[in-house]
Amino acid sequence: MVILLFSCNSNDKDENDYQNDVSEVSVIIAEKESFRPVLTFTGTIKPFREANLGTAIPGRVEKLYFSEGDWVNKGALLVQLSGEATAMARYEYETLKKDYERVERLRERGSATQQDYDHVKAKFKAAEAKYDFFKSNSEVRAPFSGVIVEYLVNEGETFTFSPGLEPGYSHASGILRLMQLNPVKATINVGENIIPQLDNIIEVSISTDVYTDEEFEGEITFIKPVLSPASRTAPVEVTINNPDNKLMPGMFARVNLKMEEDSLVFVPRHAVLDKDERTGYVWMIKRSKAKKIQINILDEHNGRFAVTGIRHGDTIAVSRINALIENMDVKVAGE
């Protein structure tokens, strides 16, 4: 309803006089509507798994078996390092193995003491462990299936321990960077007041600035069980199917958490005063009096807030709301 506004004017009134002043205001009737709330957060696409792969000891890179961008299976041989140290360890192991077997036979015939046997056995076992160590660190195999996204060391160069410094990715030292890109994930920070609502999420979708007409399905797979004392938020991990590898690590993403459909009370945005992200107040007109009502803001849609604190059928002022005071006499325009 649109109505002319007027007020009774007088000079030199105190506050009690204003409480009895009469103002004419336009109003709306708060109504319940079916609505599916959507909580939207921003995040960055990250690989589902990533690793900077290297060895436990430095060495010269002899052979790289794949190129950057290649997809590799779990267990695939990716890198071969020089084998000089492994060869020396093998010679030592094989020599001590023969000594051990000979002393073992002598002990069985009573020609070697237990002390001699124990001494040779200890040296043999140490050489065996040394050989296994060098052998396992002369090659790099894929711990999971994924894509080689970058080589940090080239063929002929010596691998040493130096951390990767690219922001947002693993800082571990390595020869190459391997990532699992299907699925991918995005981590969002969710406030403590929202976390209980995550049980009511029925659909998770991800949108990007790159694919503006396409949404990707996701799923909440992890909620960190502690809050940050500084921000009162908890990281929530969303996993997203990425069969075509359209979503690339580092890409900006909006994570939309769609809740179950509910019947909520809506009021126009401009009827809410002192609003922040989650609270505000409205002026309710009841028995021709202005009543200040605190509300909680649940969501926003088409310039209106879904709120709690008022009920379906309540009369809410939408004009002259900055001039109203508690218990002021008001006249509803058109009545």
Is 322 within the bounds of a domain?
A: yes
Residue where the block lists tokens 């909440």: 220
Whether 294 and 312 share a structural domain: yes
Torsion of CA 20, 25, 30, 35, to 10 degrees: -140
Number of domains in the chain: 3
Instruction: Look up residue 295 and give its two tokens.
Output: 């509300």
Cα dist from 42 to 39, 245, 248, whole Å:
10, 20, 15
* Domain housing 110: 83-137
What pTM did the predictor assign? 0.65
Instruction: Look up residue 148 and give its two tokens.
Output: 């080689």
246 closest CA partner among 10, 45, 18, 39: 45
Whether 214 and 285 share a structural domain: no
* End residue of a domain, out of 259, 290, 316: 259
The domain spanning residue 281 has which CATH number? 2.40.420.20
Is 22 within the bounds of a domain?
A: yes
Cα dist from 44 to 184, 189, 206, 258, whole Å:
10, 11, 11, 19
Whether 187 and 252 share a structural domain: yes
Instruction: Look up residue 85 and give its two tokens.
Output: 């140290």
Whether 185 and 249 share a structural domain: yes
Is 243 within the bounds of a domain?
A: yes
Q: Can you tell me the distance from the alpha carbon of 312 to that of 29, in angstroms, rounded to the nearest whole number?
A: 8
The domain spanning residue 240 has which CATH number? 2.40.30.170
* pLDDT by residue, tens only, the chain of 335 residues: 333 333 444 444 444 444 455 578 999 999 898 888 788 999 999 999 999 999 988 889 999 999 999 999 999 999 999 988 888 999 999 999 999 999 999 988 888 899 989 999 999 999 999 999 988 889 999 999 999 999 999 999 998 876 665 666 666 778 999 999 999 999 999 999 889 889 889 999 999 999 999 999 999 999 999 999 999 999 999 999 999 999 999 999 999 999 888 888 999 999 999 888 789 999 999 999 999 999 998 888 888 898 999 999 999 999 999 999 999 999 888 77
Whether 209 and 244 share a structural domain: yes
Torsion of CA 247, 248, 252, 257, to 10 degrees: 40
Helix (H, G, I), strand (E, B) or coil at 119: helix
**Start-to-end C-alpha separation, the chain:** 10
Whether 255 and 266 share a structural domain: no
Whether 201 and 252 share a structural domain: yes
Is the CB of residue 56 less than 8 Å from the CB of residue 132? Answer: no
Is 78 within the bounds of a domain?
A: no
Whether 241 and 285 share a structural domain: no
Q: Can you tell me the distance from the alpha carbon of 236 to that of 199, in angstroms, rounded to the nearest whole number?
A: 13
